A = this chain, B = another copy of it.
Amino acid sequence: MLSQNHYDSIQLTPEGQLKHFLTIEGLSAPLLTEILDTADSFVDMGAQQVKKVPLLRGKTVANLFFEASTRTLSTFELAAKRLSADVLNLNISTSSTSKGETLKDTLMTLRAMHCDMFVVRHSASGAAHFIAEHVTPDVAVINAGDGRHAHPTQAMLDMLTIRQHKGDFSSLKIAIVGDILHSRVARSQIHALRALGAAEIRVIAPLTLLPRHLEAMGVKVYTEMSRGLRDVDVIIMLRLQKERMQSALLPSESEFYKLYGLTEAKLAYARPDAIVMHPGPINRGVEIESSVADGERSVILNQVTNGIAVRMAVMSMAMSGQLKDNQLSAKA
């Protein structure tokens, strides 16, 4: 794992402004708070008649999805269009491989077309970093999920949802439940919660789905819901990757649901005003009981709404930082 200074130098300008958004690691509480505040202003805009601002007018955003994800692609596409950007959706894997072009050549070509921002989704950890470091001196890169490493916009929309419902993080106990081992979402959430000063971060999972050294990240580890959920203010369910089921790591769906599925009964362990979160799409009856997903303590649809707002926030902030950085470089 790279040092904090290393990450800072990639995704921040010398003045500490965002110019890429690759990972939560190394970002300060004030910067994360600035993202949340900016996103809040876009949430308000969603209630208005005209949900559009000209912040990225005349800019081109290229969505480079090496790994298919209709839902995440749609949220970035909508966020970019509501910022008035022109959007280019590229199924880059098939187009480049079919003609034998290297990744670097593809990216340099897109940059030469004056694309201003790459939104990157890739199955390899570190792909967005690689692109930001080696290929694009003046293009802002947004990480839309890279392997098991990070999914920072998902983590920030979760933080926004928690802050909207619970206010200050310093008194909160938060439990993350499910396949921690394979989850880039969980990693990004833990970094964000630590930076924002959450009182207590817990993970709940079977031993086979727990990475090592979690305690070193300041996290309390539980293997039983009855103990892990006790007195928490926020429950974050992870999505179960069904393809893992075939492996030896996981019990059957029904076995998992019995032990770790969030039912009304298990929800009772948490605080009476605890909120329930899930990144979606939900598997009803696998990770979560339908009545909980649709219940009054579920904030799952707020997460979706906040997902657009957070993406608009990081896209506009990174574009602004990238432009300032280039103007400074041009003078130097």
Interface positions of A (Cβ within 8 A of B): 46, 48-52, 57-60, 70-71, 74-75, 77-78, 81-82, 86, 88, 90-91, 94-96, 99-102, 105-106, 108-109, 111-114, 242, 280-284, 301-302, 304-305, 307-308, 323
Q: What's the Cα separation between A60 and B308 when bound, in Å?
A: 13
Q: Copy number of this protein in the oligomer? A: 3
Closest 4 CB pairs of A and B: A50-B58, A70-B95, A112-B304, A101-B281
User: Could you name 8 residue pairs across A and B whose Cβ atoms are closer than 8 Å?
Assistant: A49-B58, A78-B86, A96-B281, A109-B281, A109-B301, A112-B302, A113-B307, A114-B305
Given that A78-B86, A88-B78, A280-B109 are contacting pairs, would A71 and B95 also be in contact in the complex, using a CB cutoff of 8 Å?
Answer: yes
Given that A113-B78, A305-B114 are contacting pairs, would A51 and B46 also be in contact in the complex, using a CB cutoff of 8 Å?
Answer: no
The residue of chain B having its C-beta at the shortest distance from the C-beta of A77 within the complex is: B88
- Is B112 a contact partner of A242 (Cβ separation < 8 A)? no
Point out the residues of chain B lying under 8 angstroms from A100, CB to CB.
Answer: 242, 281, 283
The residue of chain B having its C-beta at the shortest distance from the C-beta of A95 within the complex is: B70
- Is B113 a contact partner of A284 (Cβ separation < 8 A)? no
New A-B contacts (5) at CB < 8 Å, excluding given A51-B114, A52-B57, A78-B88: A50-B57, A70-B91, A70-B95, A74-B113, A114-B308
Which of A71, A111, A308 is packed against the most chain B CB atoms within 10 Å? A71
Point out the residues of chain B lying under 8 angstroms from A109, CB to CB.
Answer: 71, 280-281, 301, 304
